[in-house]
Amino acid sequence: MAFETPKITYTGKIKSIAIGKGDQAILLGDESSYPFHLFEGEMPNTPRIAMEVYDVAPEDWAEAALKPFTGVTEDPVAWAKRNVEEYKADMVCLHLISTDPNGLDRPADEAAQTAKKVADAVDVPLIVWGVDNDDKDAEVLRKVAEVCEGKHLIIGPVVEGNYKQVGAGAIGYKHTAIASTPIDINLAKQLNILLGNLGVPDEQIIVDPTTGGLGYGIEYTYSVMERIRMAALTQQDERLQFPMICNLAREVWKTKEAKLTAEEAPTMGDPEKRGILMEGVTAVVLLLAGADILVMRHPEAVKLVREMIGELMAAA
């Protein structure tokens, strides 16, 4: 008797969304199986990688993470172009860290103009990420949405404390909202319900379950993302059937293991390889949990993960 691979019957499907515009628009989602289980269903849209850009030069990055961007960290437009032209990023993720009220506290108008310059300079989709301050993000992201009308950005994080303001901007100017909740399936579902009740179309919502880095809570992140996918695909939970984005680079590279120099940790090997591998392993774990977009930093880590995606899609 021939062996038959046991298969799961899926009754749900991940919603499809499009980001960017024109020929450079990218489709996400539309999966009808668990990640890379193409022997059971379909995964028509390959997961994508966005590379980080900061709107001011970062002060706390590890030397290994800064080296690939020498000469451009003072200019977010030049930085974005390098990510796209040299490192072949599928998308750019602009972090508006200068707007942090506990830092430079730059005004919304200035941040929106920076976002527009970056959006005009690259032909790939742009993600614009705030500073995790509900009030300031509400002000800044609404202005970004207005100034970048027609660019079809992804803007966030959109949280329960500011979803009405940012969600209204996403509706009015046709951007995709990043529904961000702190690693909890019930909170993720609730925020998706709130955004839907507000009037944000399903095709303009992407879920950020939030994540930890390798060794810093990645197991819990994986289990929550896995439960979200299970509910979406096998329990037909329509308010969890959205693509997912994972902003992992900052979580990985802020850890002490990623920042320790060879002198500080002589037994831990080459610090650059260490950071690259930590980022790469974190990214692959999140891919297997269901991530549709990975926000990454180091080009070598991006290269490794891109190769892994290709192999997984081919093997499936």
> Residue 154 and residue 174: Cα distance in Å, rounded?
10
Rounded mean pLDDT, 33-42: 94
> What confidence category does residue 289 fall into, taking pLDDT thresholds of 50, 70 and 90?
very high
Instruction: Answer whether 228's CB lies under 8 Å from 209's CB.
Output: yes
Domains and CATH numbers, the chain: 16-315 (3.20.20.20)
Rounded mean pLDDT, 108-115: 98
Instruction: Answer whether 47's CB lies under 8 Å from 287's CB.
Output: yes
Find the distance separating the first CA and the last CA of the chain, reported in whole Å: 24
* Residue 128 tokens, joined: 């614009």
C-alpha closest to that of 243 among 10, 18, 1, 2: 18
| C-alpha dihedral, 140 to 249 to 22 to 163, nearest 10° | -40
Model pLDDT for residues 248-274, shown as the tens digit of each residue: 999 999 999 998 888 898 898 898 999
Higher pLDDT: 265 or 118? It is 118
Is a pLDDT exceeding 90 seen at residue 135?
yes
Residue % of the chain over a pLDDT of 70: 99
Rounded mean pLDDT, 93-99: 98
Q: How far is CA 4 from the centre of its chain?
A: 37
* Choice among 115-124, 241-250, 264-273 with the minimum mean pLDDT: 264-273
Is a pLDDT exceeding 90 seen at residue 21?
no
pLDDT at position 167, please?
97
> Residue 199 and residue 168: Cα distance in Å, rounded?
8
Rounded mean pLDDT, 164-193: 97
Residue 303: how many other CB atoms lie within 10 Å = 15
Is a pLDDT exceeding 80 seen at residue 68?
yes
For residue 209, CA distances in Å to 221, 229, 291, 312 come to 8, 12, 10, 23
Is a pLDDT exceeding 90 seen at residue 218?
yes
Rounded mean pLDDT, 176-192: 97
Higher pLDDT: 216 or 307? It is 307
pLDDT at position 316, please?
52
Rounded mean pLDDT, 212-218: 89
pTM: 0.96
**Mean pLDDT score of the chain:** 95
